[in-house]
Structure formats: structure tokens, C-alpha cells
Amino acid sequence: MFKFLYLASLLNLFYFVLKAQNSPPNVLFIIVDDLRPQLGCYGASQMHTPNMDRLAKEGVMFRRAYCQQAVCSPSRTSLLTGKCPETTQIFGNDDHFRAHIDKVVTLPQYFKEHGYFTQSIGKVYHTNLDDPFSWSVKSWMPPPSRYGKPETLAYLKREEERLKAEGKEFKEIIEYDSLTGVPMRVKQMGEEVKGPSWEDPEVADTVLRDGKTMKKAVETLQNLKNQKLPFFLAVGFSNPHLPFASPKKYFDLYPYESIRLAQNNYPPKDVPNYAILNNGDLYKYVDIEGKYKVSTQKAKELVRGYYAATSYIDALIGNLIAELERLGLKENTIIVLVGDHGWHLGENSVWSKQTNFEIATRSPFIVVPTGNYPLAGAKPDALVELVDIYPTLVDLAGLKVPADLEGLSLKKLIENPSLSWKIAAFSQYPRKIKDKKLMGYTIRTEKYRYTEWKDQANGKIDSQELYDHSIDPEENTNLAKNVDYQIIIKELGKQLSEGWKKAMPKH
């Protein structure tokens, strides 16, 4: 009986591979802002995420996927170019990658050059730093406002009018390349008006910004149904990025009294001060009173808002997948769901991303290959990176993987989830401390997270961090100065300096 089942599995797998090679598949690429693996399928039992959970059951859910830098533009740039931040030179949200590597061919651009129709809906590249070369038609963005309550909208309007009258109006100045029209840089001027950090308007799903993105994506699928070219459709959702604004019914899924806060709401022991972010953007919102601390009540409100925003996005993704299915497109469409990075909900004393900790660098990543994937529900523990998405999609589509990519196609792992894989994943984050510029380089192995903070002026190590995940999965204690770990630190330092090329599997 077992031999028969094994043979049937092999035949299904052969059919899956053959079908992918002979019929150009479509690609539906869904990227969600600030989405950590706070999903039912990742073990977060309190979460209501049935649609993303269903995708995990139909495809491959990578348990340990890591971004290359835990902030929007660097992560998305790395993912969409297939190159690490050291190559793209994008470490913040102000510059376009083509200012540094202008000849690069992006993931959607590669598909476009191989006969695909490519289109972007919502936030795919970072806001105002879109890449016209990537798309067959102009990208579509929803209206900027995230809020839905009349009183909030009225407050924002009053404040904006006041700042305009005072000559302090907020503006984003975009510098375009004169020859290509690419938005090369974004400069912010004036004072930006922020509303509350969360909001629960009693409105329909399609009223808010992400709902409009879903609606446009559904309309786009309907238009793509009858065209002859295969498509690469990228859809980007803004929630659960601050502010956590979702229809009230999603807040109702998470009663206030049911919210539990992180227990490790303090900096790791013996960690350098600059490894911790003092919660950046959160303190720009009008309902946040303290500068470096969040009250217990506000913390519960924020966690509840994040959960609600995640469930809201889950529902919108469900509508999108349902339309793909209704149109008869699902069987021949590769579906990718990914968060651009994680987000601290009080862990390590942080309420943001922008760190090198596990919480910020780990992302949900699910791939549903075309057809009836024979290993549906696979959950490999292999270390993978978001820079791997580019070669993986190209490979699954039956196209030749470009030789200059810095990620690794996961096709073999998708076909055999038990394969031995990369021995490490790499991330980084910069810090400016007075007149000193540091870059924190971090490596995640099977058992450890090791970080070196280097002075960018001379390359010298300013400080180190080591976390032993076998005894400290929450990264609460920095062991870098522990004498019992010095040999391990030396080995991990060598591994970190050798970089991603030496971390690749041997097969």
C-alpha cells in the first residue's frame, strides 16, 4: 500500500513539473506591508486568518523565511531585484535602486521581457519609488488616506489647512530622471499630520484604502481573463502598517479583554543601546503620549489593531483568490504571499520594525504552485530568504534563471521539502550614532542569531550580539561576552564574513 502511495505521489509530482514546463503559468504576487507570521497557519491560534491559512494548506509554507533588511524600500528592492542591500545600496526609503544599479532587470521586468503582461496594483515598490520599466502599463495606487471616520478625516483636513497657512505644509518632493522618467529620490518637507494609531470605522471593506486595492485587483483579473498573454499581477496591501485602520467587524474578532501582551517587553540583557529602535513612527500619531514607552492600555489597543488589520487583509486576499478561482485562472496561476518584513508588537521593547532581531527580520512566505500541487501543506523548516523569490518564480515558470541573482531558486525544495538547504540567512540594518555610522550585519543559522555592528568608516566591529535559539527563542539575553560561547562566535563571525555565497547548499 505504501509503495503504491509513494508511486502515485511521484507520478503526481512528475505531472506537476511537466505541466509547469509546457504551459506558461500566470503569477499572482501578493505583498503585505509589515506582516509578521502572526497567522493561524504559523501557529498563532488566536488569529482569524482563514484565507491565508488555506493558501498554506494548498501550497508550501516556509516556516523560516527572512528579509534582507527590515524596512520597506530596502526589503522590496532586494526582493524585486534578486540582489542584497550591499549590491543595491538601498538602505532607506528615499532613493531609487536605479540611481545605483541602473541596468538591473527586476523580477516583473524579466517576466515582461519574456512575453508576460505585467501590472502593479497598490504598494508593491515603496510609495513614490515605482519602477516604470517593470510594468506593461502604468501602476495603479489607491487614494492615500487610510482612515474612514468622518471626525478623523475632518481633523486631518483642519490640521493640513493650518500648516499650509503657516507655511509648514507637508510635501514629498520627487526627483525624476530626465531621460527615463524614473522617480530617483523622494524628499520630505514640512510637518506631516498624523491621526490616531488605530481606527475602527463601521464601513464596508471596499471603503478603505486596502479595500479599494482589492476591488481594483479583482477588476484587473477580469480584464486579464480574456487576453492571450500570461500575466504577472502584483498586488500590494498597506495594512497592517500603521495606522491600523480596519472596519469595526475585524476589531470585534478580538475583544479587548482577550489581548495578551508580549512578556519580553524589555531590551535583551547586555544588548548595545543602538540595537534597539525607540519606536520611530509610532510617536508621530496623536494618541501616543510618551516618547519611549507605551502604556499597558495603549499596548493592548495597538496589538488589537494589528490583529484586526491582519484579519482585514486576510478577508481581502480571500476575495481576490475567490475571483481568481471563479474566472477559472487559479489552476494555472502561481500564487505568492509574502510580508516585506516583520513588526515588533512590544517584543524587545520595540513597537516597529527596523531592527536585526528575529521578530523584525522573519516574514510569512507562502507559495502555491500551479495545478494540484502533490505536496500541498508542506511546511519546510529550511532557512530561506526573500531574495530567493525572484529565482524561484522564474524557475517555476519554466524560464531560465539569470546568473547574476543573489538568491537561490526554491523549486527543488518545493519538490522535496525535506532537502538540506542553506546553512544561514543574512539581514542587515544601519544606525547613525552621533557622528558614527554603523551597519549591523546579522546571520541566522539553525541554532543561533549572531550580529556584528561595524563602523562604516573603518570596518571595525563596534559591538556583537549572540542569541542561542535552542534556549532563548525570544532573544532575551545577548551572549556575546559569555566565555562559553567564544568559539561559536568565532565560527559565526567567519560565516558572516564569508557571506551568502558560502551558505548555499552543496547539491
Could you list the active site residues? 72, 126
What does the alpha-carbon distance between residue 416 and residue 378 come to, in Å, rounded to a whole number?
A: 9
Taking each helix axis as running N to C, give the angle between helix 296-326 and helix 209-224, from 0 to 180 degrees, rounded to the nearest 10: 10
Cα 276–chain centre separation: 20
How far lies 156's CA from each of 238, 289, 402, in Å? 19, 18, 47
What does the alpha-carbon distance between residue 366 and residue 386 come to, in Å, rounded to a whole number?
A: 11
Q: How many residues does the chain have?
A: 507
For 408-446, letters b (16+ CB in 10 Å) and e give bbbbebbbebeeebbebbbbbbbbeeeeeebbbbbbbbe
Write down the residue that cell numbers 495606487 correspond to. 141
Torsion, CA 90, CA 93, CA 95, CA 100, rounded to 10: 10
Radius of gyration of the chain (CA): 22
What does the alpha-carbon distance between residue 47 and residue 315 come to, in Å, rounded to a whole number?
A: 12
Amino acid identity for residue 258 in this structure: S
SS3 366: strand
Q: Which of 503, 473, 232 is nearest to 385 (CA)?
A: 503
Pairing of strands 333-339, 26-32: parallel
Q: Which sign does the torsion angle of CA 250, 252, 258, 260 carry?
A: positive
How far lies 355's CA from each of 100, 373, 431, in Å? 24, 36, 10
The answer to whether the beta carbons of residues 210 and 145 sit under 8 Å apart is no
278 grid coordinates: 525607540
Taking each helix axis as running N to C, give the angle between helix 296-326 and helix 50-58, from 0 to 180 degrees, rounded to the nearest 10: 50
Q: Which of 329, 370, 367 is nearest to 16 (CA)?
A: 370
Write down the residue that cell numbers 516604470 correspond to. 132
The answer to whether the beta carbons of residues 366 and 59 sit under 8 Å apart is yes
Q: Which of 460, 428, 463, 458 is nearest to 442 (CA)?
A: 428
DSSP-assigned beta bridge partners for residue 47: none
